């Protein structure tokens, strides 16, 4: 007979307040898994000033370039603001927030918490606008410190930080460590001398059925379409997707109205936005897509989870230190879905992925991750 789980109060600190579907859904997933393990999961409600600027509709301009961006976005202000309010609504409905919003990480406290979990997402990327030392848990004085699958976002602290020793000390103070990418594993070894597990993103710890209750099923969609999701749309990938759209006669539904208008995608033939945007509509759009094109880690995750024909387009840092997507595809046996930016007339873009090894690979990864969590939270 197994021992009963002693319930703990577990705080999760992550990018839950980003108006970013992957960020909110990974927070939801980790919260759900920890709750199901018999603990009480609470999301530490931090959103620093950098994050608020990053996800504001019209940030205060700091240069001529940013002023021009605001001018481009001004006619679309209401649409973007309405979408951002839907993210807020999703967060309020689905995340167990631990108190009111905190913008200054110096005000954080682990009082009343038995364990604090940092991760997943790029919480250990110190180069981004919403980066914060709070995600390395220096403010935790009594609770157990656990890292679940955090990401450096392809930024090695030994290269991109002026004080790597400070982060080395923060990380070595954790009681349980893991990382999300292979590069991150090597960088941690170089920084701390520690060998840690590479664990899958928490979104993959749930099943498609687990996301059903939070999906927006009322979204009006065409019968067949390409869903195109990229954190930062680029002209060359837009051209690839437009070629595939014309070739197969499929309209393109993009996402992220702010980037969409900034990149002039509203002037492209057959490109459109959904009526509304939130993690709930994002799930619906991927689940029902005829085909998905993405440059996003979580876009790849949910395309595979919902067994969609999908293509993850090689771009930017993916060809260098950024192995986030490649680690994911390798671990799940789907490396053949990594495609070049140039349109290939010989490629059958409608061909379905071979998911024969996916379930077995995913189950093995889940087992390792759940065993880690069980040990770390015990």
pLDDT in tens, 110-155: 999 999 999 899 999 999 999 999 999 999 999 999 999 999 988 9
Mean pLDDT of all residues in 233-250: 95
Asked whether residue 3 is assigned to any structural domain, the reply reads no
Q: How many domains does the chain have?
A: 2
User: Is it the case that residue 314 has pLDDT exceeding 90?
Assistant: no
Q: Give the residue numbers spanning the domain of 281.
A: 216-361
User: Is it the case that residue 326 has pLDDT exceeding 90?
Assistant: no
User: Is it the case that residue 246 has pLDDT exceeding 70?
Assistant: yes
Asked whether residue 29 is assigned to any structural domain, the reply reads yes
Percent of the chain scoring above 90 in pLDDT:
89
242/255 same-domain check:
yes
Asked whether residue 4 is assigned to any structural domain, the reply reads no
Please give the pLDDT value at position 323: 79
pLDDT band with cut points at 50, 70 and 90 for residue 3: low
pLDDT band with cut points at 50, 70 and 90 for residue 230: very high
24/111 same-domain check:
yes
Asked whether residue 318 is assigned to any structural domain, the reply reads yes
166/25 same-domain check:
yes
Q: Which residue has the higher pLDDT, 378 or 150?
A: 150
User: Which CATH number characterizes residue 32's domain?
Assistant: 3.40.50
pTM assigned to the model: 0.95
User: Which CATH number characterizes residue 233's domain?
Assistant: 3.40.50.2000
194/224 same-domain check:
no
245/135 same-domain check:
no
202/344 same-domain check:
no
pLDDT band with cut points at 50, 70 and 90 for residue 2: low
> Mean pLDDT in the chain?
94
Asked whether residue 248 is assigned to any structural domain, the reply reads yes
Asked whether residue 225 is assigned to any structural domain, the reply reads yes
- The mean-pLDDT minimum among 6-15, 58-67, 135-144 falls in 58-67
356/367 same-domain check:
no
Mean pLDDT of all residues in 297-305: 95
Per-residue pLDDT tens for 48-61? Answer: 999 999 999 998 88
Please give the pLDDT value at position 97: 97
285/240 same-domain check:
yes
Mean pLDDT of all residues in 178-201: 95
Asked whether residue 1 is assigned to any structural domain, the reply reads no
273/139 same-domain check:
no
Please give the pLDDT value at position 318: 59
User: Is it the case that residue 319 has pLDDT exceeding 80?
Assistant: no
113/192 same-domain check:
yes
pLDDT band with cut points at 50, 70 and 90 for residue 177: very high
Asked whether residue 266 is assigned to any structural domain, the reply reads yes
Closest CA to 127 of 159, 97, 85: 159
Please give the pLDDT value at position 98: 95
86/63 same-domain check:
yes
241/371 same-domain check:
no
Please give the pLDDT value at position 112: 95
User: Is it the case that residue 320 has pLDDT exceeding 60?
Assistant: no
């Amino acid at each position: 007979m197994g021992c009963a789980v002693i319930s703990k109060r577990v705080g999760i600190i992550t990018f839950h307040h980003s108006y970013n579907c992957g960020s909110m859904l990974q927070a939801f997933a980790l919260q759900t898994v920890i709750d199901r393990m018999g603990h009480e999961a609470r999301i530490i409600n931090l959103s620093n000033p950098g994050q608020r600027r990053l996800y504001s509709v019209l940030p205060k301009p700091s240069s001529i370039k940013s002023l021009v961006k605001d001018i481009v976005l001004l006619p679309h202000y209401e649409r973007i603001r309405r979408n951002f309010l839907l993210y807020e609504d999703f967060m309020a409905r689905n995340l167990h927030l631990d108190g009111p919003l905190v913008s200054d990480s110096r005000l954080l406290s682990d009082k009343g918490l038995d364990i604090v979990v940092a991760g997943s997402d790029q919480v250990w990327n110190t180069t981004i606008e919403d980066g914060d030392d709070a995600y390395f848990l220096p403010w935790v004085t009594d609770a157990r410190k656990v890292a679940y699958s955090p990401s450096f976002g392809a930024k090695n602290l030994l290269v991109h930080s002026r004080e790597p020793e400070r982060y080395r000390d923060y990380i070595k103070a954790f009681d349980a460590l893991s990382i999300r990418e292979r590069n991150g594993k090597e960088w941690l070894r170089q920084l701390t001398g520690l060998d840690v597990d590479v664990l899958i993103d928490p979104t993959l710890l749930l099943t498609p059925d687990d996301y059903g209750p939070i999906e927006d099923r009322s979204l009006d969609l065409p019968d067949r379409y390409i869903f195109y999701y990229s954190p930062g749309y680029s002209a060359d990938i837009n051209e690839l997707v437009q070629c595939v759209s014309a070739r197969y006669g499929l309209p393109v539904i993009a996402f992220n109205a702010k980037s969409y208008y900034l990149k002039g995608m509203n002037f492209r033939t057959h490109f459109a936005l959904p009526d509304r945007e939130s993690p709930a509509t994002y799930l619906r759009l991927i689940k029902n897509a005829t085909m998905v094109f993405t440059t996003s880690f979580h876009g790849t995750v949910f395309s595979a989870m919902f067994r969609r024909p999908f293509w993850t387009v090689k771009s930017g840092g993916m060809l260098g230190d950024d192995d986030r997507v490649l680690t994911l595809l390798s671990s799940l046996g789907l490396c053949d879905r990594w495609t070049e930016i140039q349109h290939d007339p010989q490629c059958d873009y409608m061909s379905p992925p071979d998911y024969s090894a996916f379930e077995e690979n995913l189950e093995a990864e889940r087992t390792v991750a759940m065993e880690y969590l069980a040990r770390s939270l015990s």
